[in-house]
Structure 1
């Protein structure tokens, strides 16, 4: 086990409690749909390249009637970045040692009318200490009402801390969740932030509110759409859209690269990939 200071332990405890609340809500939705699907939890340990204990995490996956495949991962790891990769990480250029704890969630839905979603929040320590993360909605069949309510929830979380957060972090998400080779956005956006440092208590409180906002709004959208009938053409539309999602995560996603470069659990890193896709 790696030793944690007070801030590191507080962040880890929060991410684990958020995981528990989200998983309980997803299982409740499955039960409402007449399914007994539950999360399957798989713990994993990481060994740092220098041989020192590197922490680990728990990968949680549910496959049910509503959630065709949803993963909720929590990891707490530490060690040293290798080689040139250290220079790409905020505050690690002079000292490659790091600590990271966070939650990462991706949900791919059985009904194409229900939006897929991604949410990730994290706390990293190098020579600096900062939070990052966000949430973005990825509907195969967009509904303006759902998009507006999701953004309103993210804006409310932002506005409670800084009126400049939402416009800045929304624009950041629009820029980040873009697939250059397709010239399309991955979904309908949300918020994305990184390197949020300085006032640790304020930044931690904001990160918690982002998690609470997600837990409040996404289940509402799922319940609104999960009983809708859909056609084979709409299912095909969903599968082809998922291909775009897979392309982004394998080519551009920073979290995927971070996990691979730091010796993370491969199944947890690639949990974000959809269960079935199609390219035509």
Structure 2
């Protein structure tokens, strides 16, 4: 009996040690890439009605992208919500890339059910790889999944809206990346979206993506040669400036413009005439600004 108790104790200790060894260690961001935080990005796209039938419904997709430029990902989770019950999730599909990278499990609906997703107005992505390298690194965005929605006629076309944003909920849908060494970190999430339904007289509805807050994305690709894109979201109309500096703080290029409505701005920089090295870009709009680092490699 004593020998049996001793064996059970040893097994319990062994189980606890193994559990501790397998538990992910948290980092605030990719521990191998302190300069460029990894990101989860949603891109909202309006899909025109090609059936030839006039309808007040609007159809759109939410495309999910991952940015992981320095470390492979073997597990990734993220939860999202919308706040208008006239918006309905019809279907979702993972890309061939995600099927290969996360070969053990892929989840795209809340509670694995499209009806539950629409009832709670929640959707998610969960991917897990049992062995291997997972999602390989890339300096560009990597397309993971696409979610297909339709919009029923809204009571107040032109003024009604729907917000889509990240949201943690039960079932593990927290923004999280995990690498092959079992270290996990919090990727950055792109800006919120406001989707507006504007019913044109006798025609189709339209959808606009309108960010709720000022945000600056990591340039892509990064590192780059010789061209890269700086993307930032403006929640209101107004002037904007993008200034690029070298490591000495000297201005090497500048761009400016005027946004006539809220939206996302893309600025391309061709660094053909500049030397390899670290550069910084600063985006300013009104009283808000943000600076990020990028790498030119020739």
Pick the structure with more strand per residue. Answer: 2
Pick the structure with more helix per residue. Answer: 1
Q: TM-score, normalised by structure 1?
A: 0.32
Q: Which has the larger Rg?
A: 2
